[in-house]
Chains A and B, each alone.
Chain A
Amino acid sequence: MNTHPYLRAYLAGIFIPTLVLPLLLAVFIMARIVVQVPTPIEQVMIFPMAIVPSLFGLWNMLYMVSHPSVHHPIGLHGAVLPLLMAPIGALVATHLNVLQFGSHGLIWFQACTIPYALVVPGFLFAMAAYYLVWKYIVGTLNRILGIA
């Protein structure tokens, strides 16, 4: 199976975001309708729906291109992705009023406050989550699809 390797890499990359997206949508709808949290779902969903899957797919394609020369593990490759995604996501979220900079911390979705002291640990938390997701899910899919 040596045909269309970039397409297979892209599909393996977008697997997790497309799986999580309905879950995320369900969480936000529950939060808005059931718990009456004033979360602007339309604005919240733009980044996870339009940008995150594409970034995952392109990042996996980049792994496929760079791996033969760099020989870096896929977990490490995935753990670096938040360095790119965090500023893009924060920028989009700020412009859509999903993220606000409060006096004590970041206010996400007009409901969740993350103290500034926890921003860096939170970023490390995201990197660790990405490391595991890429190592065990995207890496497995790559092997199944004959990419890695």
Chain B
Amino acid sequence: MNAHEQEEDRIRQVLQQSLRPVGAEHEPNRDLWPAMLRRLDAKPASTPWFDWALLAGLVAVAALFPSAIPVLLYYL
């Protein structure tokens, strides 16, 4: 074994000592991919009826009192 190989061997040993071992105990105890797929496929939360009613009320008020629209825009 020449000096270069000895140096490589020493570096390998130092690296093995400094890095944490990756073994079976560091893996999750179940497959996470199906849960990930379920989350990707999940529909976003639907808008509650209360918010639709509120929006309809706002549209109705704006239609009945159009003079309120510039005032509301003034505050946006």
Contacts and interface: CB of A to CB of B under 8 A. Distances in A.
A113 to B, nearest CB: 7
Interface residues of A, number: 34
A16 interface: yes
A64 interface: no
Contacts of A126: 72, 75
B11 interface: no
Interface in A100-148: 108-109, 112-114, 118, 121-122, 125-126, 128-129, 131-133, 135-136
Given A113-B67, A114-B67, A125 B74 contact: no
Interface in A11-39: 16-17, 20, 23-24, 27-28, 31
Given A20-B76, A24-B76, A114 B71 contact: yes
A93 B71 CA distance: 11
Interface string B53-76: 011011001000101101111111
Contacts, number: 66
B51 interface: yes
A129 B75 CA distance: 11
A5 interface: no
Given A113-B67, A118-B65, A128 B54 contact: yes
Interface of B: 51, 54-55, 57-58, 61, 65, 67-68, 70-76
8 contacts: A24-B74, A24-B76, A48-B76, A112-B70, A112-B71, A113-B67, A125-B72, A135-B51
Q: Which 5 pairs of residues, A with B, have the shortest CB-CB distance?
A: A112-B67, A20-B76, A24-B73, A128-B54, A108-B71
